[in-house]
Amino acid sequence: MKHAIIEIEHVTKTFGGVVANRDVSLDVEEGGITGLIGPNGSGKTTLFNSIVGYHPIDSGSIRFQGQEISKFRVQEIARLGLLRTFQQTRIYGAMNCVQNMLISIPHRKAKFLDMFDRQARADTEKGESLLDFVGLYEKRYLMAGDLSFGQQKLLEFAMALMNEPTVLLLDEPTAGINPTLINGLIDRLRRANEEFGITLLVIEHNMRVIMNMAHKIYCLAHGELLASGTAGEIQKNQNVIDAYLGAH
């Protein structure tokens, strides 16, 4: 039996009259890549926001490494090692890539200017090596705002890695990226999982990507869990085909 690092049980989240998540239960396997799919508006991003403490849930339970975190704040949850990236990238366009890497460590925000600081030097080396990992080393002194959208997503991914997350939640990492960069990104996500041991939970619209990558996939529809299983099982699931795959 595989160990669940995140256990979501009966989570309901409403916005006014809109039920964004209704009684959702799912497990994120430690060390694995778990996929989350579903049509637009099915509640995927809302579930991410609930997990990382961005907003309170109405009812249910969210445990991380056995600890109830549903009442914790974003910063507390981040400190536990649970991080997310956004559908829209959050980089600092007027700073170069290395500076973005340094500023991504929240408690060291002021230090990147002090190059004599030993910690700052260690952080710079780590930042450059992660930029190398995502294929941006040559562009490390370019302003982040001058990178292509796909490169900005790679930078955002590297910025998340800078914090050495235990679990990384990725919201549509390949959205808006040109096809030649997608394969590179998938390769990096896999390597972050296999070599760095980071557990991944990935929201993804590109079926080829998620079917190739995820060990287990959950499908939401209208805020509710519609199905779960391996890629093969999900592809054959008639409910998923009717609600989602048929339209793709």
Out of Mg ion, ligand ADP, none, what residue 41 binds, judged by CB under 5 to 8 A for its kind, is ligand ADP
64 bridge partner residues? 6, 67
Told to check if 176 binds ligand ADP by CB under 6 A, we report: no
Binding site for Mg ion (CB under 5 A): 45
d(CA 129, CA 27): 32
Residue 196 sits in the site that holds ligand ADP (CB under 6 A): no
The candidate with the shortest Cα–Cα distance to 206, out of 242, 159, 170, is 170
Report, in angstroms and rounded to the nearest whole number, the Rg of the chain calculated over CA atoms: 18
Measured CA to CA, the distance from residue 43 to residue 22 in angstroms comes to 9
Q: What is the nearest approach in angstroms of ligand ADP to the Cβ of residue 38?
A: 5
**175 lines the binding site for ligand ADP (CB under 6 A):** no
Pick the stretch among 33-41, 72-80, 109-117, 230-238 that binds ligand ADP (CB under 6 A). 33-41
Q: If binding is defined by CB under 6 A, does position 45 make contact with ligand ADP?
A: yes
> Smallest distance from the beta carbon of 134 to ligand ADP, in angstroms?
25
139 binds, among ligand ADP, Mg ion, none (CB under 5 to 8 A by kind): none
Of 35-43, 92-100, 209-217, 236-244, the segment contacting ligand ADP by CB under 6 A is 35-43
Q: Is 20 in the site for ligand ADP (CB under 6 A)?
A: yes
- Is 147 near ligand ADP (CB under 6 A)? no
Residue 44 CB, nearest distance to Mg ion (Å)?
Answer: 5
Quote the CA–CA distance of 225 and 96 in Å, as a whole number: 41
CA distances from residue 4 to 34, 40, 57, 72 in whole angstroms, order as listed: 11, 27, 20, 19
Backbone angles phi, psi at 224, to 5 degrees: -110, 155
Q: What is the dihedral of CA 15, 16, 20, 25, to 10 degrees?
A: 90
Instruction: Choose between 158 and 219: whose C-beta lies nearer to ligand ADP.
Output: 219
- Among residues 133 and 244, whose Cβ is nearest to Mg ion? 244
The one of ligand ADP, Mg ion, none whose footprint includes residue 221, by CB under 5 to 8 A per kind, is none
Please report the sign of the dihedral spanned by the C-alpha atoms of residue 112, residue 115, residue 116, residue 121: positive
Question: Is residue 197 within 8 Å of residue 211, measured between CB atoms?
Answer: no
Residue of the chain from 32, 35, 38, 60 that contacts ligand ADP (CB under 6 A): 38
Q: Which residues would be at the binding site for ligand ADP (CB under 6 A)?
A: 15, 18, 20, 38, 40-46
